[in-house]
């Protein structure tokens, strides 16, 4: 077994243990294996080990490696977890199965247009900037519930979940709790939160998916 596949299996086992500990259903949490900066040769062993859900943070980088992998393994589910520029909406709708970073009106409008044009509808999550960090993407927490409603009522989009990246230097717990509360208020079910350093905590706070990169693929 490759080192990557060993680390992948260890993460899966820790997710299962965290589900049990939190009283969650087995399999309640989806592992999004974040493969950014790694190439197809690094990713393929994890696919061959049976995993199908992956995350990338750049549209252009993903276009370089995923079309071939998706052709070879058609049940792959690819998540966009990085900021989306509106001039990349066309490519993003064509390639990704879940877009986790809807965070402003212009992107919502552009995605709605592309979904209608292509007849292909990725699942959509709204990214919330739970720490209100100026350099970080995501909608402000106080605007999140209304924005989800506008995605539905103005743009005809179905938002299935919320996503956050807590500030690197803070205890993530309160950010996970805030995202869970906003999801309840907005009436959405999916919660994408938790990365290599804090995914077990995120599971305790109700994450339905965790985005784990370096703990599987190694440091970048
Ligand atoms: C890179 C990245 C991750 C994975 O981070 P690790 O700490 O390597 O697990 C998760 N979410 C987003 C949005 C990322 O860009």
Residue 143's nearest CA partner among 129, 154, 122 is 129
For ligand 1, pick from 81, 100, 133 the residue to mutate: most ligand atoms within 8 Å of CB.
81
- Residue whose token pair is 């993460």: 11
Mean pLDDT of 19-32: 98
**Could you tell me which residues come within 8 angstroms of residue 76 by beta carbon, excluding any fewer than 6 positions away?**
47, 52, 53, 54, 66, 69, 70, 97
- Check pocket membership of 31 for ligand 1, CB cut-off 6 A: no
Kindly indicate the confidence band of residue 140, based on its pLDDT and cuts at 50, 70 and 90.
Answer: very high
Average of pLDDT values for 113-124? Answer: 98
* Residue 117: its H or E element: helix 105-118
pTM given for the model:
0.98
Residue among 34, 57, 168 whose CB has most ligand 1 atoms within 8 A, to mutate: 34
Q: Which residue has the tokens 């490696």?
A: 65
| Gap from CA of 213 to ligand 1 centroid (Å) | 6
Over residues 182-201, the mean pLDDT reads: 98
pLDDT confidence bin for 32, thresholds 50/70/90: very high
Tell me: pLDDT of 167 over 80. Answer: yes
Predicted local confidence at residue 1, as pLDDT: 75
Residue 135: per-residue pLDDT: 96
Q: Region 162-168: what's the mean pLDDT?
A: 98
- In this prediction, residue 2 carries a pLDDT of 87
Q: What are the pLDDT digits (tens) for 40-79?
A: 999 999 999 999 999 999 999 999 999 999 999 999 999 9
Kindly tell me if the per-residue pLDDT of 207 is higher than 80.
Answer: yes
The per-residue DSSP string of 165-212 comes to: ---TTS-SHHHHHHHHHHHHHHT--EEE---TTTHHHHHHTT-SEEEE
């Amino acid at each position: 077994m490759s080192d990557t596949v060993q680390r992948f299996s260890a993460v899966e086992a820790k997710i299962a243990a965290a589900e049990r500990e939190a009283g969650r259903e087995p399999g309640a949490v989806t592992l999004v294996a974040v493969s950014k900066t790694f190439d197809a040769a690094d990713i393929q062993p994890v696919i061959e080990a049976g995993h199908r859900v992956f995350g990338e943070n750049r549209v252009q980088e993903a276009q370089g490696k995923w079309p071939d992998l998706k052709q070879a393994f058609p049940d792959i589910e690819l998540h966009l977890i990085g900021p989306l520029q509106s001039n990349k909406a066309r490519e993003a709708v064509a390639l990704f199965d879940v877009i986790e970073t809807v965070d402003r009106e212009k992107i919502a409008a552009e995605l709605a247009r592309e979904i209608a044009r292509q007849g292909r509808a990725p699942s959509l999550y709204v990214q919330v900037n739970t720490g209100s960090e100026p350099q970080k993407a995501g909608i402000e927490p106080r605007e999140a519930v209304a924005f989800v409603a506008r995605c539905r009522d103005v743009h005809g989009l179905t938002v299935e979940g919320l996503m956050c990246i807590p500030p690197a230097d803070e205890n993530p717990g309160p950010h996970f709790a805030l995202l869970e509360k906003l999801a309840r208020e907005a009436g959405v079910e999916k919660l994408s939160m938790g990365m290599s350093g804090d995914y077990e905590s995120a599971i305790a706070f109700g994450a339905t998916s965790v985005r784990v990169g370096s703990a599987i693929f190694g440091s970048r």
